[in-house]
Every structure is written in structure tokens, then in C-alpha cells.
Amino acid sequence: MSAVAAQTPYGGQLVDLVAGPERAAQLREESRDWPSWNLTPKQLADLELLLCGGFSPLGGFMGRSDYESVRDSMRLSDGTLWPIPITLGLPEEMAQSLSSGDRVALRDPEGVMLAAIRVHDVWAPDRDLEAERVWGTTDPRHPGVRQLMEGSGRQFLAGDLDGLARPTHHDFTALRLGPVGVRAEIERRGWEKVVALSTRNAMHRAEQELTLRVAEELGAGVLLHPVVGPLRTGDVDHFTRIRTLQALLRHYPADTAMLALLPLAMRAAGPREALFHAIIRRNFGATHLFVSENYAGPGKDAGGPFHGPDEARDALREHEAEVGVTMVPFETLAWAPDRHAFVGEHELRESEPVLTISDSELQERLESGRELPEWFTPPEVARELRRARPPRSEQGFTVFMTGLSGSGKSTVANALMARLLELGDRSATLLDGDVVRHHLSSELGFSREHREINVRRIGWVASEITKNGGIAVCAPIAPYQALRDDVRRMIEPAGGFTLVHVSTPLEVCEARDRKGLYAKARAGTLEQFTGISDPYEEPDDAEVTIDTTSTNAADGAQAILDHLVAKGYLRK
């Protein structure tokens, strides 16, 4: 096959920040005297793409001038278009201990040194301003804003970056090619044009048909390039998503499509992210990028949409010449049974019947065990989806109770546990707040920070139980709405989640005072006590509400069981 002209990297050449063996050995030796920082998942993903050239022409984490310029104008300080800040945040105490010229070892969660940075810039960012400029909102429900605000770093650090090794991955290693590997495969296949698709969910026959049509029109190959970094935004975990893509890939004609993974931390930044993805895909060799409506933006579940339906497409259209990647609209195709073919909206005949299955209907079919027709998806893809999302009656789930001390949470939880064990439908575990404190959080006090840690631990254990098909019944006080939201987000990808508000009024709980805690709180000997000296934020999203003033434990448990049956998690 004759050689083809490859797409040039953004900025002219791929950046390679990985030091040679001798330099790497020297850095490891010297690092014994340096402070270390264990990178967060987002920072780890950013470092990987810096080291391998996926973020070319960036040569490291941004300094203050580049950061502010990108934040305010989508350009580096030298004028190069760049839409998303790439920064390294550290805790304030650590950052303030560093001086210009100091070295810091950057390590993975297991402590393996991946890079060294020589400090030349430390500053405190204006996070609210960054959220407003980059995401267009400071709404904490937005996952990108929440990621920014809750990040570990109160201050940003920049400096010369020397890489020692790319992060280690143990999953789908043959698909983690990096820009050099993907470009080599494109060259081997002789593709002059490459249209990339960033897949957030499983692909089905309509999406495959669209990619094939566009590829044929362009004379291009198809790069299926799913994002597998942190900040999950799709309906299935990345393991399931990649298995479905591997299954679908077998239905493409030979040498028309390839699959590679992109270890990118999503920002959910809409139009800015569309530009960001286009630049990255150019570095991987793509010449075109599919862009859907509301591309890379969070939906209604996060309080959105935060951007108009064509803003992402318009952003890439406006900057196509500068980015060097052409925007391809991702069109929705429908199945025309009379023609036995997929058709676009412009191809429909008058009154022609068509069939589609929306994302919500797909989830309903999976959860109810209904058929996924073959015109919609190949049987191998359907099989993978059913493995990941069995019918609700076979899924694990969590019942998460919240309420004041003395509200009756534990009593109702014990009654519910007894009924669940009677049914014998699945294994069930009770995670009572006080019991978990004794066995899992005995070192914690009762400050807000420590109470939140305890609830997060309960949520994590519950998510593991749920993921493995069991039932978790949780009964902490969990007084803060944001924390309960975090627990819901932690568990819902693994299975079912039901929030139960045990709404017994404060005066009733205080009158009971079985542990004498309210008396101590009133006397001032027990600080930060929920309902007295610390707030309880009543939930507005509880699926079940129980007031034990007028409802006994057995009836409360029955109300929860009725809800679980109605939602399909338990059989009648």
C-alpha cells in the first residue's frame, strides 16, 4: 500500500515528555529528598495525555498566564487556540511550602513515580470565575463545576515537567495505543481521512450505519474513540461500553473501522469541550469529528442542559480551519420497516412508519427484561448490555434512610431487614450509622467532616453490595443534601437506590431521647449535634417518607417494600 499524507499534530509535532532511561534513573535517585504528590484520577488522566502528546502542543501543566488566558479567551498566552485549562492543583499547605526551583515527585495512587515537576509558578485560582467562563455556570449540580469545586487542590502549580513513565492500565491494554500507536495503525490501513466518534454509551445499528455512510461519502476510515477517564457521563460503565464496541466492530466491513481508547478526564464543558476533543483527536490522527447536539454537556439530571443544542457544533464550525478538524453532524437515523433500512429525517417519505428506541426506552427494556429487537442492535451487543444491566428484579439495590437521631430509622431498618430476609430474594446487609462507626469508623469524631466521612464510607460499602447483586439497608442521620446526592450518584450506576426520609419531627425525637444526646446538646456538652446546634436539611427527593409518630416499624417497612415492588426490584 502506498504511503499517505498523515494528519499533522496540532502545533506541528507530537510532544513527548517521557525522559530516556538514564535521565529517568537520575530523577528517581534524586526524588528521595523531594516532596511527593499522589495524583487524583483527573490529574492522572491529564498527565498521561501530556506525556504521550495527546495534549500537544502543551509541554506541561499550565502556568498562571496560560491558565488565565485560556480561561478568559480560549487561547494560550502565545495566541494558540486552546479551550480548556490543564492545571495541577495541590492542597494549600503543600503548595505554600514550595519555592521556585523546588522539585515535586508526581506519583500514581500506589506511590509509583510517574513524573517530576520543577516549580516555577504557584497561585490561587478564582474557581467561581473559572466555572463561569469555562462552563458558563457556577451551578454545583453541573458535574464539571462540581469536579472543579471539590478538587483536592486549592492552589495551582506549574513548572518544567519530566515524565518517567505513562500510567499503568490493566484493562484493554491492546486498545490503549496512544497517539503514536493510533497514527501507526491509520498509516498501516492507508487511510487519508479519519472520522472520529467519541462514544458515551453503547453503539447500535443506527450509529454504525451512520458512521459507514459518512465514511463512504468522505472516503475515510472510522476511529471509534471512547473516553474512558474519570467523570463518567454515559449510561453504562466503560468495561461494558468497550465490550459492546468490540462486539459491534465485528459487524463493520473489513478495514473500515478501528477501536482505540482515550484516557481523558471529561469536563462536560459543551462547546469548549467540542473544540478540546477535536484538538485531541487531531493529535491522534483524525481529520473529522462527529458532533451531536448537546455534545459533551450534562443533561437534565444535572439541572441542564447548560448549552443550546447546536452550540458545540457551531463552536467547531467557527474554528474548523484553525483546529484542522472538520465537524460532522451526528444525525439520528430511524428504522423504516417497509424498506428494511435506516433512514434520516430528510429521507422520510410522507406518512412513512419508522421505529426508534430512545435511551430511556432502552433502559426500560433492559430493566424489565423486554426484547431488544435485532434491527436495533446485534445480539452480541444486547447480550453484553443484559449482563451489565439485568432486569430490576435481579439487580442489587440500596435503601438509604435519613432522619434525625431518635426518628426511628434503626427500628424501621431492622423491621425491613427481617422482611427482606424472610423473602430470601437476595442477600441483605444492614449498615446502621452507629454500628458502622463502631466497626469501620471508630477513629472518627463527630465534626461535620468526620460525619461526612462516615456517611461516604457507608455509601461506598453500599455501592459494592449493590454492584454485586445484594441489598444494602443504610440508616445514618446523613443530614446534608449534597452528601446524600453524592451517595446517590455513587450507587445508582451499580443498581437501584431508594431514599427514605424518616420524617419524625424534632420535638418527638427529642422527647424520646433514648441515648440522652439531646439533653447533652441542650446543655452545651455535645457540640455540632444535628437538629440542635447543627442543621438537618430535609430531603426533597425522597422516594418514601415515614413519620414514626403515627406509623409503627412494621408499617414503615411495608411502605418501603411496596415501593420496591412497584419499581420492580422485588417480585410481588
- Annotate 511-535 with DSSP letters as a single string: HH-TTSHHHHHHHTSS-S-BTTTB-
Residue entry with cell 485560582: 125
Contact of 478 with 487, CB cutoff 8 Å = yes
C-alpha triplet 554, 419, 367: angle, nearest 5°: 115
Helix, strand, coil distribution of the chain in percent, nearest 5: 40, 15, 45
Would you say the C-alpha torsion 415, 441, 154, 29 has a positive or negative sign?
Answer: negative
- In sequence order, the β-bridge partners of residue 402 are 501
Question: Containing H/E element for 399?
Answer: strand 397-402
Torsion from C-alpha of 446, 38, 101, 21, nearest 10 degrees: 170
Torsion from C-alpha of 211, 213, 218, 222, nearest 10 degrees: 30
570 φ/ψ angles, rounded to the nearest 5 degrees: -125, 145
Distance CA 524, CA 57 (A): 59
Is 118 one of the annotated active-site residues of the chain?
no
DSSP 150: T
- Annotate 479-517 with DSSP letters as a single string: --HHHHHHHHHHHTTTSEEEEEEE---HHHHHHH-TTSH
Total Cβ atoms within 10 A of residue 71:
21
- In sequence order, the β-bridge partners of residue 328 are 290
Task: Write the CA distances from 548 to 24, 217, 416, 504, 535, integer angstroms.
Answer: 64, 66, 14, 6, 21
Is 552 one of the annotated active-site residues of the chain?
no
Total Cβ atoms within 10 A of residue 197:
25
On the CB side of 367, how many CA atoms lie within 13 Å of its CA? 18
Task: Write the CA distances from 540 to 304, 369, 480, 500, 501, integer angstroms.
Answer: 19, 31, 12, 11, 9
Total Cβ atoms within 10 A of residue 209:
16
Which of 38, 138, 201, 414 does the annotation list as catalytic? 201
C-alpha cell of residue 118? 520543577
Which of 40, 87, 199, 294 does the annotation list as catalytic? 199
Is 332 one of the annotated active-site residues of the chain?
no
Which of 23, 133, 189, 200 does the annotation list as catalytic? 200
Task: Write the CA distances from 18 to 49, 177, 234, 265, integer angstroms.
Answer: 11, 16, 32, 20
Query: Active-site residue numbers?
Result: 199-201
